[in-house]
Structure 1
Amino acid sequence: MTPPLPERAGRRCHNVLNPLHSTHYFSSELRRELAAVGIEDERAGYLAARAAAMGAVAAGAVTATFFNFRHELVAEHVPAVWRTASPEAVLAARVRAVDATLRRLLGEDVIVSKDVAEAAELALRAAEACGRTARPLYAAHADLPVPEAPHLALWHAATLLREHRGDGHLAVLLDAELDPVEALVSHTATGKGMAPRWVLGTRGWSRQDWEAASGRLRERGLLDTEGELTPAGAALRQDIEARTDRLDRAPYEHLGTAGVERLTEIAKGLLMTAFAAGAFPEGMIGKE
């Protein structure tokens, strides 16, 4: 019998791998590489970069798999973006951007270090246990080739683990009967989600949408008049994360306790280096 993982070990590992995956979304390198293939609008760029693994899909598929973007925003850019650059061109631009972003944030010595190579091996091993069923974004990325360079292989594996958890998380949100804006509002109220101005600036929702969702959460007894989670709201968000952990346990159980701890340790160090190098905009996370 394999000993059970410590409580939340998989979540802790995800919480350092996911930001490593996400660094390129905020980088000048991604903007530059996408502009080189004709995509200059940043919103179109994000949608294309993340959806390209699914092929030249229509707006409905992107809205469904991304969950918290307003459909009208998605439809402004998809499928038109594929007439500007093919999914294959976008995927190639994305990998070039990730390469340049990680080299800038981590430094050449770290890029070629034994730690990065070890982390890539561990993360890929964990991803072996991810399942495609009912996980469309994960499944699409799982069909892409694994890059040869260790730092890119690590990023690829982090992407697989991120999208695997994310696909399961959406099922839990649906079961909790939270619509996209309610999910955003309640997550922000935990203090761990994106600040409202970032959500409204990137997801296509209006302040009126935000306030209406807040009102619905108040009616359910999940949010108070100050915009803070009630005890019931806090319990719901904790339950959502716990249920997401359960649906996402397979890759971390496959890797085992020692492997998860080591991957978490290395990824945390890499993330701290990236943070110190200015990987993310100030004020992105929080309630204001």
Structure 2
Amino acid sequence: MTTAALEPRAGRRCHNVLNSLHATHYFSPDLGRELAAVGVTDPRAVNFAVRSAAFGPVGAGAVAAAFYNYRYELVARHVPAVWETATPAQVLAARVRAVDATLRRLLGEEALASAEMAEAARLALRAAEACAREARPLYAAHADLPVPDEPHLRYWHAATLLREHRGDGHLAALVSAGLDGLEALVTHTATGKGMTPKWVFATRGWSREDWDAASQRLRERGLRDESGELTGQGAALRDEIERVTDRLDRAPYEHLGAEGVARLTELGTAFARAAAMAGAFPADLIGKA
């Protein structure tokens, strides 16, 4: 389905609500419970396992490269050791069970069985038809997984494909901009739209000393000022990174068409908002503090 040209940020807005729904399981007690059932109990090992399981039993190098903004030493502490505890196939099955439980708890049975959920799944899967595997390792690995049967899981699966497709392109934009993984986090947090330092330290393996060193490098490049805010040059760089990411991620949304993107954004916003109101995310996850 193709229609008139998309408004420049339409794809970004659609992705944002889809990604929000996708991300709910990372903060869900259901994920920890299902992974513990297959022997994976460390929360950081859970994170690395569920997102990289589509690769198969890979080592730390592949995971660190694809995840980009995690400290390598943290990745290597858990990968490939986690595959001695649970196979990728076991992890993938546990992830789907956790997503199912999470969405049922956050959205309710009526929403999961609704015509709107089925429509959202159809639209998101149609958009994902135009995703490209080339130079997009996380997307390509997940694209090889089977599409679930139930509408809410089909929707989540499609949201995952679209999230990883954009994410892989975003990493290309960050590399082109000359930002390493931690510098990318520091500048994103400075926009007020990224994770707070507390959550960066808790999940990415970086220390306050690492953060301060990255901040100093950014100041030396004229991207961050002494108060921790982005300079005009820094804000312009972040804007350019998002524009490049938009360009690299246009194909799925052009394929869906302006009308389809608008409808998917409308449906996705309702589901994401309901999940957030049900407590899907920590209150202090996003911001500068």
Query: TM-score scaled by structure 2?
Result: 0.99
Query: Counterparts in 2 of 1:78-97, with a 5 A limit?
Result: 78-97=79-98
Using the TM superposition, give the Cα deviation of residue 281 of structure 1 relative to its aligned residue in structure 2, in angstroms. 0.6
CA shift digits 1:170-192 (9 cap, x unpaired): 00100000011100000000000
Using the TM superposition, give the Cα deviation of residue 48 of structure 1 relative to its aligned residue in structure 2, in angstroms. 0.1
Q: Distance in 1 between matches of 2:223 and 2:75?
A: 29
Q: Distance in 2 between matches of 1:239 and 1:116?
A: 34
Does the residue aligned with 1:61 lie in a helix, a strand or coil? helix
Counterpart for residue 196 of structure 2:
195
Q: Distance in 2 between matches of 1:20 and 1:276?
A: 12
Counterpart for residue 65 of structure 1:
66
CA shift digits 1:100-138 (9 cap, x unpaired): 000000000000000000000000000000000000000
Query: Counterparts in 2 of 1:14-29, with a 5 A limit?
Result: 14-29=15-30
Counterpart for residue 10 of structure 2:
9
Counterpart for residue 182 of structure 2:
181
Query: Counterparts in 2 of 1:77-226, with a 5 A limit?
Result: 77-226=78-227
Q: Distance in 2 between matches of 1:13 and 1:135?
A: 20
Q: Distance in 2 between matches of 1:189 and 1:172?
A: 18
CA shift digits 1:234-285 (9 cap, x unpaired): 0000000000000000000000000000000000000110011000011100
Does the residue aligned with 1:272 lie in a helix, a strand or coil? helix
CA shift digits 1:142-180 (9 cap, x unpaired): 000000000000000000000000000000100000011
Using the TM superposition, give the Cα deviation of residue 29 of structure 1 relative to its aligned residue in structure 2, in angstroms. 0.3
Using the TM superposition, give the Cα deviation of residue 2 of structure 1 relative to its aligned residue in structure 2, in angstroms. 4.0
| % identity of equivalent residues | 70
Q: Distance in 2 between matches of 1:272 and 1:136?
A: 30
Counterpart for residue 52 of structure 2:
51
Q: Distance in 1 between matches of 2:102 and 2:142?
A: 20
| Cα RMSD, aligned residues only | 0.7
Using the TM superposition, give the Cα deviation of residue 53 of structure 1 relative to its aligned residue in structure 2, in angstroms. 0.3
**One-letter code of the match for 2:253?**
Y
**One-letter code of the match for 1:161?**
L
Counterpart for residue 254 of structure 2:
253
Does the residue aligned with 1:194 lie in a helix, a strand or coil? coil
Does the residue aligned with 2:211 lie in a helix, a strand or coil? helix
Q: Distance in 2 between matches of 1:2 and 1:155?
A: 25
Counterpart for residue 245 of structure 2:
244
**One-letter code of the match for 1:262?**
R
Aligned residue pairs, count:
288
Using the TM superposition, give the Cα deviation of residue 207 of structure 1 relative to its aligned residue in structure 2, in angstroms. 0.4
CA shift digits 1:201-245 (9 cap, x unpaired): 100001010000000100111101010001110000000000000
Which consecutive segments of 4 or more residues in structure 1 shift more than 6 A? none
2:194, 2:286 within 8 Å by CA — same for their partners in 1?
yes
Q: Distance in 2 between matches of 1:95 and 1:11?
A: 26
2:3, 2:258 within 8 Å by CA — same for their partners in 1?
no
Does the residue aligned with 1:225 lie in a helix, a strand or coil? coil
**One-letter code of the match for 2:98?**
A
**One-letter code of the match for 1:30?**
L
Counterpart for residue 227 of structure 1:
228
Counterpart for residue 35 of structure 2:
34
**One-letter code of the match for 1:283?**
D
Q: Distance in 2 between matches of 1:3 and 1:272?
A: 28
Q: Distance in 1 between matches of 2:198 and 2:274?
A: 26
**One-letter code of the match for 1:171?**
A
2:191, 2:230 within 8 Å by CA — same for their partners in 1?
yes
2:3, 2:259 within 8 Å by CA — same for their partners in 1?
no
